[in-house]
Chains A and B, each alone.
Chain A
Amino acid sequence: MKVLLNAKQIDSALNKLTNRIVADIPEGVEIAVIGIRSRGEIVAQRLAGRLSKKIGSEIPCGTLDITLYRDDLNSPKSGSQPQVRTTEIRFDIDDKIIILVDDVLHTGRSTRAAMDALIDLGRPKAIRLAVLVDRAGREFPIQADYAGYKAVAKPGQLVQVLLKESDDKEQVIVE
């Protein structure tokens, strides 16, 4: 196991994301942040807090459960059984720029599922992808618009984001 980012570095990665997103928002367009369960939810909440502060108005934040949109649901090969949790988006996503947030971008399959789930909820003006960690291994033609950190990881290695809200520590590790 190797530590890629410590608490301080995670904090500066989040700051980098915040600044890049703010710089990109066109005038007169509303934005909202939506995190993919479960670590993406935490990153999204932190990001929404920072964005709100920086912009000076409350940025809505929601959580998306993508289980029903996964492409491996009915495949007998996936040994584990995903648990369906709740999607909690208490605002209208129509005509907003949605900052879709995940902790790690790897194969791109979660992002594909999340985009399908989002467009069943409405028609956003745009969907932009923000991830704390971007690593190699894409299986779909999907790239992050904003990445806090680019990790080097070999196939078969697992890049994990550990956050104090869910894991009682603050680290990005590779093993």
Chain B
Amino acid sequence: MAEKGKTREFKWQRKHLLGLRELTAEEITYLLDTAQGFEEISARAVKKAPPLRGKLVVNLFFEDSTRTRNSFALAANRLSADVVEFTKKDSSVSKGETLLDTARNLEAMGIDIVVIRHNAGGAPTLLSKYINACVVNAGDGFCEHPTQGLLDVFTIRKRKGSLKGLKIAIVGDISHSRVARSDMWAMTKLGAEVTFVGPPTLIPPKVDQLPVKVSYSLDDVIEKVDVINMLRIQFERLGGNPFPSVREYSHYFGLTVERMKRAKPDILVMHPGPINRGLEIESEVADGKNSVILQQVTNGVTVRMATLFLVNQAAAGKPAEIQNG
């Protein structure tokens, strides 16, 4: 059925997707609505549509990543764009070239969209000021991972209809998690109530300035929440001794079968992957009926297709200009 007289006036204006903090609820909703139109492409015989035909997307990854990089590449391919992979190990980046020099060299090859992951927070924003191409943040430092936040709210919206009024717990290493931050912005803007859960050592110091509640006990929140997002313990980022032992962490903050018995029967269990089975989440829970972990992966491609499409649309309406600084 056609929607009654609903021609939305809204126009997507951003040629960069740098973070969700600066997005309005309307922008996020528009992106999610757009993503719905891309779902069908991945399900059909010819998994391709032509809107980015002749466009060049560069995956510029300064940090290891397999799934996000592949997910972006797949999204670009399904929209008929060409993709160039540019990773730290096999590039001049390891020879000491600066970020801006790398980007300018890529631009000289005629790129249209840069998908960048960098260990320094703010790197995508910096890049966006110096090049003409669209910039999409695929994770910067501990700041943001906007497409992860978008795919998480897309997944929740699909299952629950709306985020409004939902209680959501994000559990684990909040301090080092850009996923937690992007999730928080997207979820709260769409009307959910977010609680960060973890040991005090893994909760960021100025958390009181963020639009979230904090709990140091998973047992206190497990019964109340509609959605639980279990973050991976990122051993590669953990300095010092944030918790006495992996076993102790697992005991207090792991999502176990026992804990799940106390949760709402229709709770959604999420995880950005890759999962540490038996650590932050037990296998039976990760593979259980409440888990949407694999749907998140599928939806990731969908949401990234919408992102690439929209930033390119915003760029198509504007003359090229370089802001040299």
Q: Which residues of A contact B (CB under 8 A)?
A: 37-39, 41-42, 45, 65, 67-69, 73-76, 79-81, 83-88, 116-117, 120-122, 165-168
**Quick check: A85 and B5 within 8 Å, CB to CB?**
no
Q: Is the interface of A mostly helix, strand, loop or mixed?
A: loop
B50 within 8 A of A: yes
Other A-B contacts than A39-B2, A84-B309, 8 sampled, CB-CB below 8 A, are: A68-B309, A74-B312, A81-B11, A84-B38, A85-B36, A88-B40, A117-B49, A165-B2
Contact sample, A vs B, 30 pairs, CB 8 Å cutoff = A37-B2, A39-B2, A41-B1, A45-B1, A67-B37, A68-B49, A68-B79, A69-B49, A69-B51, A73-B313, A73-B316, A75-B316, A76-B318, A76-B319, A81-B12, A81-B313, A83-B34, A84-B37, A85-B36, A88-B40, A120-B44, A120-B45, A120-B46, A121-B45, A121-B46, A122-B45, A166-B2, A166-B3, A166-B4, A167-B5
Complex interface bits, B137-175 against A, C-beta within 8 A gives 1, otherwise 0 = 000000000000000000000000000000000000000
B48 within 8 A of A: yes
B38 CB, nearest partner CB in chain A, Å: 7
Cα A75 to Cα B317 with chains together (Å): 7
A55 CB, nearest partner CB in chain B, Å: 23
Cα A79 to Cα B318 with chains together (Å): 10
B312 CB, nearest partner CB in chain A, Å: 7
Q: Which of B2, B45, B51, B317 contacts A76 (CB 8 A)?
A: B317
Cα A16 to Cα B197 with chains together (Å): 65
Please indicate the chain B residues that have their CB under 8 angstroms from the CB of A167 in the complex. 5
Complex interface bits, B302-315 against A, C-beta within 8 A gives 1, otherwise 0 = 00001001001100
B261 within 8 A of A: no
**Quick check: B313 and A85 within 8 Å, CB to CB?**
no
Please indicate the chain B residues that have their CB under 8 angstroms from the CB of A121 in the complex. 44-46
B188 CB, nearest partner CB in chain A, Å: 25
Give the contacts of B1-54 with A (CB-CB under 8 A).
1-5, 8, 11-12, 33-34, 36-41, 44-46, 48-51
Contact (A166, B5) CB under 8 Å given A74-B312, A81-B11, A116-B50: yes
B158 CB, nearest partner CB in chain A, Å: 13
Q: Which of B4, B8, B46, B318 contacts A83 (CB 8 A)?
A: B8
Please indicate the chain A residues that have their CB under 8 angstroms from the CB of B48 in the complex. 120
User: Which of A42, A65, A81, A117 gathers most chain B CB within 10 Å?
Assistant: A81
Cα A81 to Cα B49 with chains together (Å): 18
Please indicate the chain B residues that have their CB under 8 angstroms from the CB of A67 in the complex. 37, 51
Closest B residue to A89 by beta carbon equals B40
Closest A residue to B1 by beta carbon equals A165
Q: Which of A42, A84, A122, A168 contacts B34 (CB 8 A)?
A: A84
* 10 nearest A-B pairs in the assembled complex, by CB-CB distance: A84-B37, A68-B49, A120-B46, A68-B51, A74-B316, A38-B2, A84-B34, A81-B11, A166-B2, A86-B37
Cα A54 to Cα B37 with chains together (Å): 33
**Quick check: B50 and A68 within 8 Å, CB to CB?**
yes
Please indicate the chain B residues that have their CB under 8 angstroms from the CB of A79 in the complex. 317
Please indicate the chain B residues that have their CB under 8 angstroms from the CB of A69 in the complex. 49-51
Please indicate the chain A residues that have their CB under 8 angstroms from the CB of B312 in the complex. 74
Q: Which of B11, B306, B317, B319 contacts A84 (CB 8 A)?
A: B306
B114 CB, nearest partner CB in chain A, Å: 18
Cα A168 to Cα B6 with chains together (Å): 12
Please indicate the chain B residues that have their CB under 8 angstroms from the CB of A75 in the complex. 316
**Quick check: B37 and A87 within 8 Å, CB to CB?**
yes
